[in-house]
Structure 1
Amino acid sequence: MAEDSGYQHFPTPPTIPISKFIVNIPEKDLQSLKDQLRTSKLGPRTYENTGADGKYGVTYEWMSQAKDYWESTFDWRGVESTINSIPNFIADIPIPSASTSQDNSFRIHFAALFSQRKDAIPLMCIHGWPGSFLEFLGILSALQNKYSPVDLPYHIIIPSLPGYAFSDTPPLDRDWRLEDSANLLHKLMCGLGFEAGYALQGGDIGSYTARIMAGTFDSCKALHLNFCPIPCPDEKVHGRLPIQEWEKRGLERADDFVKYGTAYAVEHSTRASTIGFVLSSSPLALLAWIGEKFLTWTDETPSLDQILESVTLYWLTETFPRAMYPYRQETVYPPPQARTEDDYRKVVSQGAQRHMPHNDPKYHCRQPLGYSWFPKEIVPIPQSWASTTGNLVWSNKHPKGGHFAAMEQPKELLADIEEFLTQVWLTGI
């Protein structure tokens, strides 16, 4: 971290312990990764993995090329240099203990750019899976290029969710839920001096966390999302909501995803332990599982370097098995009850119930809500549907972009965030 960058100075003294953080993975860990790549073998060529369309997942050709590049060419130290060009920190946040009366300390990693302006807007942007704080480096870079510390309009905070990257693992002695993560990130913002008001932005699991924060804490004054998956709102409550032609194309993509692209989520939510062991055993297994998502959930295919940055971070920090808790929460296990004759006739046709925070009345967003629509999002819902989840006052449609909007379209997403905050923050929030 450059000591004279000017972006690392807190606007007020933090009320929680915070230390500067430099990413520097031990050389032995990098060598271990290379050794495992060198000694690992790909599975045999099959009908499924030799199809050029990738219908059945990543192809043999892509895996072979990615393995060779990862082993011989990929430069993790260069990634570290980019990360460390941004101020990074570790915050120690108290959380209740399940076994004692004393609080435990939970370490949360975050990258940040702090402004010297007195009226700067505190803004937290929250990543999802299989993303990380790396998704937002493009936005941070764009802000550095556009503003100096003197005129930066935001204090922008990019945390690593609990269990991800350099943040601590959720406790082993109790169930950790999205509400726990939301509470922890709220404490981080308050500890940084932003209890009077902050804005949130989120995609994927980050959108769930941000939604819960907005529905729980009055300190959240505005919420912007680029991911808001919900089923069609009840027509008896909301009427027949309009769907534009371009939104129908998005719903076709959503339908394909729900039918044919969610096997990973079922495994995550119902067998988190098993898949955690599988993907912790081999970097190639992790590459196949995560690489597939970057190939199929994006509009334009990211560079191999971009994909390997995320996979390498996950491997070196053992993120995958530590980060499955949000998926466990999605699957609803109703209490045992007597079955009717009709119930027995539906046991095969009915899947598991799913819980999505975005259509949970408890988390209806009373604050100003913004929504950015990207055509290659995995579940790009119509703006009229998003409006049923809160006080939607701003929305925008983009001609390109997918699930990883912050990584794929950083300038466009940043422009959306800035326009939304300019509209709602300056109108008396």
Structure 2
Amino acid sequence: MTARLADPLENPGPLAGIRVVEMGQLIAGPFCGQLLGDMGAEIIKIEPPATEGNKGGDPMRDWGRGDFPLWWEVVARNKKAVTANLRIPEGQALARKLIATADILIENFRPGTLEKWGMSPESLHEINPGLIIVRVSGYGQSGPYSDRAGFGGIGEAMGGWRAIVGDPDRPPSRMGVSIGDSLAATYGCLGALAALRHRDKTGEGQVVDSALYEAVLQVMESLVPEYAASGYVRERSGSVLPGIAPSNVYPCKDGEYLIGANQNTVFSRLCDAMGRPELASDERYSSHVARGRHQVELDELIADWTRTLTIDELEALMIKHGVPAGKLYRPQDMLDDPHFQAREAIVEIPHERWGTLKMQNVFPKLSKTPGTIRRAAPATLGQDNFAVYRDALGLSDSEISDLQTRGVI
């Protein structure tokens, strides 16, 4: 782990020189901005200023556990924070001037909001023809549901995720993270990078339309074709995938351990580790289809064996026999693990409030132009107002102060 922020001049990252204006709030838009910023883009985040009765800022600044609103520290890293009141003409005009200097705009408002503020894609492309506009929303920019309010959980439900997650005798479960938002943001980022490639060849900007429900749909594997071809409907199946065996979490003397040995050769190695090599040729377990048919009894048989071992004893056997398996990690396990440390999967950065702060590193890793964490998340609202509006738009300090006094920023 490292205890310093990366020098942006030392290795600027593959997106160095790309300016992104981020106008989104909460998770989907800001996570898209985080991904682009991690790879070297300059991210200028516009937040609403404080007004009477409203503290302003992205609500993510307060998200977390009590006195530890740490979600912001990850999603806002590598960003510059400015304020602009987008609900008034002067604030909208200021935003348009900033967008005119940008390569990418990110927004995750309800469809029609940008248009209401006088910032339709058509009008923005008039002042910046090469602009790429990433629009993340619940249902997309078109279709009969487009003007509905949408959140990550709704997208997970509509995209098919929620119906198949959890135990069959209980209501649908959710993941412990906002996976729908993160998927829509990731696909938005993918679209932005593809659009940059097109712009390199043609000079044309375009709109990237990332809908929460469609982002979830993309990772639903064969759920739709299975139904369309055979009428099969996937249902909640708890900790297993029906027909994929053995692949489950198994009990040990001191906890639980995940084993995935559903491939024939791997299952044979698991049988050797168990001291039961004959199981590999048993007709009930000798093929993928046969193991799927006898999934419950096979899981029970393996569980009876794993209960006799500690996690460390079981892991040693899995490593020795080449069986894919692993512990269920908690944060302390991640911090202590030598593999996490060797790959710097978690880094430690200096922070004004927290002293130092540990968080996940930039991902994926690039061999020639790796991304970096160059700035901690902006601590205060409008922290970069003077620097950005002066350097990007050429405003004087007195002009910026006047905008601040009048509540425009």
> Is the pair's TM-score, using the shorter chain for normalization, greater than 0.5?
no
Bin for the TM-score computed over the shorter chain = under 0.3
TM-score (ref. length: structure 2): 0.23
- Larger Rg over CA atoms: 2
Bigger relative contact order, structure 1 or 2, given CA contacts below 8 A and separation 6+? 2
